[in-house]
Amino acid sequence: MIPLNDIKFVLLDMDGTLLDKYFDDYFWEHLVPEKYAEKHHMTFGKAKEELLSKYKVHEGTLNWTDIDFWSKELHLDIPALKEQIKHLIEVHPHVEDFLKMLRRHKKKVYMVTNAHYKVLDIKLKKTEIGKYFDRCITSFEMGYPKEMLEFWNKTEKLLKFDRENTLFIDDTAEILKTAQNFGIKHLLLKTRANSKKHDKPVDGFRVLENFKELLTLS
C-alpha cells in the first residue's frame, strides 16, 4: 500500500492517530460540560449545547487545542481535569510495533500535533511513546495549526524532510488536504480514531484502520 522501503521520513499525528480519541471526545463532550453545568448551575444538556457552539467558533485555529485559552474562557482548570482522567489515555493497537519497526529501519520519525504542549506532556508521560520520536513538533511551536500551509512551510525548514519520500498519517481529512497541497507525497487517513465510534466515509485518501496493516518491513 505504501512503499515503506523508500520512505525516509514519517510524520505522525498524535490524537486519534497514535492515541485513541475516546479520551479527548469523552473529555470535551462529557467531563467539561458536566463541570461547566455545575459551575453555572445549568443542566448538562444546556451546558453541552453552549460549549459545542463555543468550540465551533475556534475550530481549526490555535485556540482550538489551547488548554490555557479554554481554562480562561470557561473558568475551569482544564489541565487539572485532564490529569483527573489520564487513566483513559490509550495507544491504538500495534502503534508501538509500528514505531519500533521504524526505529529498527532507521527512519526519521516525527510527531506533528496540534495538541498543546501541556497535553503532549501528560500523554507522553502516560504512554511512554516519546522515546520512539526524533522530535515532537506542536502547532504552538510553529505558530500555526496544521490546517494552514504556514505550519508545513515552517516544519519543513526545521526538519528538512523531503516531500517525495515522506509519509504523513493523520485522522483529519482537512489537515491531510493541506499536507497534500503542500506536496507531501504519501498520505494516510487513520480511521477508527475513537475506537468506540464508527467514522463517516471520507473520499480522497487511502485509509488506515489498524497499524498492523503497515507492519511490512522485516
3-class SS of residue 40: helix
Integer Cα distance of 98 and 121 in angstroms: 21
Integer Cα distance of 37 and 180 in angstroms: 41
Instruction: Give the sign of the dihedral formed by CA 189, CA 192, CA 193, CA 199.
Output: positive
| 68 in catalytic set | no
Q: 109 forms bridges with which residues in the sheet?
A: 10
Catalytically annotated residue among 6, 97, 134, 162: 6
Q: Measured between alpha carbons, how far is residue 134 from residues 110, 139, 171 in Å?
A: 6, 17, 21
Looking at residue 164, the DSSP 8-state letter turns out to be G
Q: Measured between alpha carbons, how far is residue 183 from residues 142, 143, 151, 169 in Å?
A: 19, 20, 13, 14
Q: CB neighbours of 66 closer than 8 A, spacing ≥ 6?
A: 116, 140
Q: Which residues are catalytic?
A: 6
